[in-house]
Structure 1
């Protein structure tokens, strides 16, 4: 196995473990057992556990950005539903990692992971602006979209922990939230487009 492939294998092992428990509860021993490698081999690729945790969580954020990129053709609402479904899929796949990324006070949080989360948020805003055909958004529209991304993050955190809402209803409900928020904003800013 090439060095890059081995490194990716260790990250995959960590992410697999994050699927069943919080990243801060996963040890080096857990990871080397899952990856079927020795401790010295682990330390050849990562100087410590924290470095691997950060790299693994950056993989989650890259997956979220890739999930956002999965736009379908059609009207803005259809395209955004597909993007939100992509986010839900990635958040669900990396449940514990996603929760650790967004949970306030997580021991895994670093300036690097915070920057990666901001990149996901910014990509979500860009995606919506593109779907709406807006190249120069007003400050109020930007504020609305940033608030909506916070709604999505909060909803996904709750859904991942409680599963009280059927998955099939989640994407439509979140896009409907955006539609209502845009309507409310348009009442205060005539430059704000409506979803159609």
Structure 2
């Protein structure tokens, strides 16, 4: 755990190539030998650190489903942004893992987070068999959330509550646009829009 937390902090502030085993061991205040007791290579701890960060974020999606769907969506977004804010280094490392050091393993970790987010929204909306357009819409929206949150963490030029509301409104706008082409989505958006 100590090695993983140190690795996450380092990967959140520096590219993978600029973080050495010695850096991780020093940040965790352990010996190089202890590092090798748990991990065989830098790439192995990198994937393990991403998985650790991803599991923490996925756990946030499992908040109880209470109240109207829009309130649940705001709660999910709030949990996502709270995680990103309180674990900024882990969040940055997690998202960088899918693009900067693209491997099958790092890509799978990032994709797993995205799949959980989409699945949680569909489950809360009561959609068991989403159309291809509905899935495309939700996948595009998760990219918007990720990119926006990364930018917000760097700039902090908008109150967090405004960011959360804007992201929910973005989802509603995207789903509304999809509803014009997809009857199943139109039915769901009609339910969501009701007070």
- TM-score for both structures, normalised by structure 1: 0.85
Q: CA deviation at 1:67?
A: 1.6
- Is the contact made by 1:18 and 1:95 (CA closer than 8 Å) also made in structure 2? no
Measured in 2, the distance between the counterparts of 1:142 and 1:40 equals 46
1:99 corresponds, among 92, 104, 124, to 92
Residues 100-144 of structure 1, C-alpha deviations (whole Å, 9 max, x = no match): 43347413x321111111111111111111121111212221111
Q: Which has the higher mean CA deviation after the structures are superposed, 92-101 or 124-133?
A: 92-101
Q: CA deviation at 1:167?
A: 1.8
In 2 relative to 1, CA 178–105 (structure 1 residues): closer, same or farther, beyond 3 Å?
closer
Question: Is 1:172 the equivalent of 2:165?
Answer: yes
Number of aligned residue pairs: 188
In 2 relative to 1, CA 33–61 (structure 1 residues): closer, same or farther, beyond 3 Å?
same
Residues 71-109 of structure 1, C-alpha deviations (whole Å, 9 max, x = no match): 4411111111111122112223332343343347413x3
Equivalent position SS for 2:129 = coil
Equivalent position SS for 2:181 = coil
Question: Is 1:62 the equivalent of 2:55?
Answer: yes
Measured in 1, the distance between the counterparts of 2:28 and 2:180 equals 55
2:110 corresponds, among 109, 117, 127, to 117
Measured in 1, the distance between the counterparts of 2:12 and 2:38 equals 22
Q: How does 1:121-140 map to 2 (within 5 A)?
A: 121-140=114-133
1:11 corresponds, among 1, 4, 21, to 4
Runs of at least 5 residues in structure 1 that lack an aligned partner in the other structure: 1-7
In 2 relative to 1, CA 91–30 (structure 1 residues): closer, same or farther, beyond 3 Å?
same
Q: How does 1:1-80 map to 2 (within 5 A)?
A: 8-80=1-73
- TM-score for both structures, normalised by structure 2: 0.86
Measured in 2, the distance between the counterparts of 1:115 and 1:37 equals 29
Equivalent position SS for 1:134 = coil
- Is the contact made by 2:134 and 2:178 (CA closer than 8 Å) also made in structure 1? yes
